[in-house]
Structure 1
Amino acid sequence: MAKLLLQIFTWWNGQTIGTRFFTWRKGTKVGEDEFGNVYYEGPKTTWGEPRRWVIYNGYAEASAIPPGWHGWMHYRTNTPPSKENYVARDWQKPHRANPTGGPNAYRPAGSLAVPGERPRVTGDYDAWTPGN
């Protein structure tokens, strides 16, 4: 019952009830990645390409799509990684979760989360003062 309520009232926890129904009616499973995300293809869109979507395993985070599937999702290739022997190139990095708001987030000196003072402004910047 809780899973059904989550599908009705939230979009960030996997799929919604509307996506589940559309996938059931029109979706064809294309493959699954190492994170458990499932990729689908459906009827052609108005520009003639088949509609493609992903149902995330858990929390919906777009950066959790591996490079090979990202290329397929964005129509850079028509062959999904599940239908070929896809090997990531050297310059393609593995997934790293978005650190924003977490303990690994970037916090420059002088921010509220890091003690210390902000470095002085240098260069051609002159602060505005009223009356000048």
Structure 2
Amino acid sequence: MKTFITQFFTWWNGQTLGTRFFTWRKGIFVGQDEFGNKYYRAVVPPLGERRWVIYNGYAEASAIPTGWHGWMHHTVDVPPSDETYKAPEWTLPHRANPTGTPAAYRPKGSTAGKTRRDKTTGDYEAWTPGS
């Protein structure tokens, strides 16, 4: 019952009822990544091929690894689950977006950072209204 209520009222936690129904009717399972996200495709005339992901838990777009990201955006035709897929050698391991977490990048002088910005060296002239 909790799963039904969650799917009925939330879009950010897994899948909605509409997505579940469309996946059941037309979805073709393509593969699953190391995070448990499941990828589907369907050919829907006149729209063409549609590709979507059902997240394992919270729906966060940065939780999609690079290979699957390329497939989702039609950059590559071969999904990473296919045996003919070969990732480029320069591809780094996936890292989720750290924005809003303690691991986020905070430049020097940021109000959220721990370091202070260097004092200005005199080459900065503050703007004043009317000048």
Fold match by TM threshold 0.5: yes
Q: Is there any run of 5+ residues in structure 2 with no aligned partner, and where? A: none
Task: Give deviations 1:15-34, integer Å, cap 9, x for gaps.
Answer: 11111111111111111111
Alignment partner, residue 27 of structure 2: 27
Alignment partner, residue 131 of structure 1: 130
Task: Give deviations 1:68-102, integer Å, cap 9, x for gaps.
Answer: 22222111222222222434222211111111111
Tell me the TM-score normalised to structure 2 length: 0.83
CA contact (8 A) 1:63 1:95 kept: no
Structure 2 CA distance for aligned equivalents of residues 115 and 64 of structure 1: 28
Residue 51 of structure 2 aligns with an amino acid whose one-letter code is R
CA contact (8 A) 1:67 1:88 kept: no
Return structure 1 stretches of 4+ with deviation > 6 angstroms. none
How many residues are aligned here? 131
Secondary structure, aligned partner of 1:82 = coil
Secondary structure, aligned partner of 2:62 = helix
RMSD: 2.3
Tell me the TM-score normalised to structure 1 length: 0.82
Alignment partner, residue 96 of structure 1: 95
1:76-95 aligned within 5 A: 76-95=75-94
Structure 2 CA distance for aligned equivalents of residues 58 and 32 of structure 1: 14
Structure 2 CA distance for aligned equivalents of residues 4 and 121 of structure 1: 58
